[in-house]
Each structure stands twice: as structure tokens, then as C-alpha cells.
Amino acid sequence: MLSAAHTISALPFFDTADVYGCGENEKLLSEALKPIRQSVVIATKCGFNLYDEVKDELGRPIGICGRADYVKTAVEKSLQRLQTDYIDLYYLHRVDPNTPIEETAGAMADLIKEGKILNWGISEANANIVRRAHAICPLTAVQSEYSMWYRKVEDELLPTLEELGIGFVPFSPLGKAVLTGQIQKDTQFAQGDFRNIIPRFNKENMQNNIKLVEYVEELAKDKGVTPAQIALGWLLSQKDWIAPIPGTTNPAHLTDFLGAANVRLSADELNEFEKDYTLIHLVGHRADPFTESQIDK
């Protein structure tokens, strides 16, 4: 079994999901990557049911789903859209509260035996779920939010992953763009921007939380790099099995992010950050309160 850290570091890595654009993102990715399929790593996900053929016992559509029949239906659909014979890393996008994770893991084991997926992972799972899933079919990676902006995964999840030898793939490694330095305490988000419903970004909380942004900007200035590079470099300096996945639609931002590959914080710098971080008390949920209560319990 390839580790996530080795897989991702060896080849260009692309993270998508069937739910992104209801499959359209996978189709777009296939157009770009089909000519170089053997030279890239593709991760995609299932878990938010898009398919009419997957229903509950009363014939009703299911939302979040981890049933074996659903997983096997979903992977076939993703393989078709991606125009590939295999998926390097296949995630369960969210844990299904109504299906034992052992059933999902068993389905993933079957898909690995069939060669349809090479590795599997879970997104947004707690340490207990990770242990149960890993016992049935070894996990390669777990994906969840992690950055200077949100660090709860350090309490139980990261120690568990280190113990079990599972890679970690942080999403929102730039704190939903706040760590790029482009968001200020009085920034107004456009109508429809999801950050409008995230308590950590509301006006009252940002009056306090901007302290972390300003601190990162000072670190960046001292090292002669950008705030985004500091934020990503901090993550890359934590463990060699952590591989952040920043997202952007702006080529200039992508170039900025790539520069983080050469940014590392020394042990002394990390220790200094920890001392300073204890004086910065971030307030507000990292997601809408209902979502956070479901994911982080």
C-alpha cells in the first residue's frame, strides 16, 4: 500500500469529488489529464449520493451514504467521468451516520482487490471512525480541515494517524483564504459566498481573529515570502506525511502557493510560533454550527 505522503510527493496530485459540479469537475479534469494519466495522481470522492438508483428501504433518495452498493455504484460513475481504469485515492467524502463504517471499508477493500481503486481514505472523520475503518481495510489518507486558522485535529486525529501510519491531507490549509492576507477585519464577502455563514468570519469575531492574520503577515515579511507561503510552509514543517491541498481559480495564486514548496520553519521558529499562538485566541466556529457539531463530535 502506498502512503499518501509518498504518493502525493512523487507525482502531481489532483483532488476532486463527484459532487463538485455534480460530476462536471471530474469530466473537466479527465480532459486535461487523460494524455498524461500515468504521470499524475487523482483523488476523488463519494459520499453525497447523486444517483437515483440508490434509495432507502422505503424507496426514498438518500443524501449522505456509505452503503456498499452505493460506493460501488459511485466508483463506476467516477471512473466513467474521469475516463480512467483506476482511481489512485478514493475517499468517503463524509461518514454516513446510518451505515457502519465497517461496511464502507469492506466495499473499499473489494474495489482495491478489483483494481478499480489503489488506495482509500476518509474525509472529515474522527479518530474512532478512523481506527474502525483502518481495521477492516488499511487507510492511506484522511482529509480534514487543518491550518493555523483551525487546529483541533491536533488533539486526537493527528496522533492517531501517526500511530497507524496514515497520511493526512489538510483542506482549507489557508483558512478559507484568510491566511493569504487578502481578508481584513472589515472585508465584506459577496452575496452567496459561503464565508458569510461561517461564524469565525463574522464582523464581531474578525475584530479579534485578525490578530492571527497580522501575525502571519509579519512572519512572511521577516522571511521575505508571502503570507500564503508561510501558512503552507508551516503545515509542511509539521510532519512529512502531511500534504496540504490549497485551492484557487487564479493562476497567480497558484504560482504563489507553489513557492511554499521551498518554505520551511525551523524547530526554533515553530516553537516561537507556538508561544505567540497561545496569546491569540480565535473565536467562532470553523463551519456553520450544525455542520461543525456533526463533524467534530
Biggest CA-to-CA distance, the chain: 61
Tens-place pLDDT, residues 105-160: 999 999 999 999 999 999 999 999 999 999 999 999 999 999 999 999 999 999 99
Give the pLDDT confidence of 219-229 residue by residue, as tens digits.
Answer: 999 999 999 99
Q: What is the mean pLDDT of residues 70-92?
A: 96
91 is a catalytic site residue: no
Query: pLDDT band at residue 58, thresholds of 50, 70 and 90?
Result: low
Mean pLDDT for the stretch of residues 19-37: 94
Domains of the chain: 1-145 (3.20.20.100), 175-240+252-297 (no CATH)
CB of 77 closer than 8 Å to CB of 52:
no
Selected residue with higher pLDDT from 8 and 50: 50
Query: Cα separations (Å) of 260 from 173, 225, 229?
Result: 12, 9, 4
pLDDT score, position 6: 44
Burial annotation 194-222 (CB, 10 A radius, 16+ → b, else e): eeeebebbbeebbeebbebbebbbebbee
Consecutive H or E run containing 168: strand 167-171
At 153-207, the pLDDT tens digits run: 999 999 999 999 999 999 999 999 999 988 888 888 888 888 988 999 999 999 9
Taking the CA atoms of residue 260, residue 266, residue 272 and residue 273 in that order, the dihedral angle to the nearest 10 degrees is: 20
Percent of the chain with pLDDT over 90: 75
Q: Which of 20, 51, 86, 277 is catalytic?
A: 20
Q: What is the pLDDT of residue 295?
A: 59
What pLDDT sits at residue 161?
Answer: 98
Grid cell listed for 153: 485535529
Average pLDDT, the chain: 90
* Residue % of the chain over a pLDDT of 70: 90
Cell 478512523, residue located = 130
According to the model, what pLDDT value does residue 7 have? 45
